[in-house]
Amino acid sequence: MATNHLLEINQYGQSIWLDNLTRDIIQSGELKDLVENQGVSGITSNPAIFEKAIAGNVIYDADIEAGVRASLPTYKIYESLVFADIRNACDILRPVYEASDRLDGYVSIEVPPTIAHDTEATIAEARRYFQEINRENLMIKIPGTEPGLPAVEQVIAEGMNVNITLLFSVESYVNTAMAYIRGLEKRLAEGKDISKIASVASFFLSRIDSNIDGKIDAKLKKGVDDISVEAKLRVVKGKVAIANAKIAYQEYKKIIRSERWQDLAAKGATQQRLLWASTSTKDPDYRDVMYIEELIGRDTVNTVPPATIKACADHCNVSDRLETNVENAYTLLENLKDPDINIDLDTVMDELLVEGIDKFIQPFQSLMNSLEDKIKVLSPV
């Protein structure tokens, strides 16, 4: 029997989560098989994933009809569909949650992307989701925006599991880690248990390279007179996201060595793991599993879409690479400031955060429109 390389990755202390959730994979038994036999130990979802799952899929029609008969508004019908899928996925992952002593076995659901810039609304929705879905192994996804971080802090203090998403810069990751720490400290100060709370910081990859590669390609297309300048530009292509992630991991190590974290760990706190997100390779010239192979390392998570899961199971070259060539990573990012390259990484990260929220709002609104159309078709005349 061929080796499943996903199972090898688990041996290096990295968890593989599936970046996809549909009713089809729940009902067909595919999700159960991935969890029990293929080394998958968690699930992430987002509005784009649900839009693809629900729009044009008859598997949801009976529940939509039930919502119509109950005179539910469109948004409530959407929630009834999604919450049911999330609960069922949580139940399938529950044995992993228990066997791993709450390290894995989580299912993530995002608060509505339309409230990404509203702290109070985010806190209110996180509370409601956690209460209504009613599963211990639920993780609430909150964007790592400036208004999102106080929400993270409060939600952690109230004892919910949180996946902070749309992190691009190392600074944004550090800010996220500190929000987690402040939330735990706040909860501790209230005399409450902090040992049953989990968090991941979702650090995005392929979108960074897509953005920077686009800028480099534009420069190359315009024409470069000096061959050495062209070489400098080509060296950077497809390398920034992985370098950025390796540096973020070094910051993670500093944080968990800090006295502030050690005090919390002594009282039972679970470290917030870095999660590698956006890990499908967008450029066909790059290896299809490069965002997995290059970032295998202890105490991390990689959330992987179905096609990349299959590719990795088949041909990932598994080795502990997260802490290799770290000095080169620092040099590479420093070289972006070279006048011949002249890419401002901070500006790129800001652009990506704005785009990232938009990429969730658009499918969310598209899904609402698709549901409206289905409701009209399924409504009794």
Catalytic residues: 141
d(CA 209, CA 239): 7
Residues 6 or more apart whose Cβ sits within 8 Å of residue 157: 183, 184, 186, 187, 190
Is 341:335 a contact under the CB 8 Å cutoff? yes
CA distances from 174 to 140, 179, 196, 240, 267 (A): 19, 9, 22, 18, 22
Is 122:112 a contact under the CB 8 Å cutoff? no
What angle (nearest 5°) sits at the alpha carbon of residue 244, between those of residues 157 and 154? 10
d(CA 227, CA 315): 36
| Helix (H/G/I), strand (E/B), else coil: 336 | coil
Is 49:85 a contact under the CB 8 Å cutoff? no
Tokens of 236: 């950077």
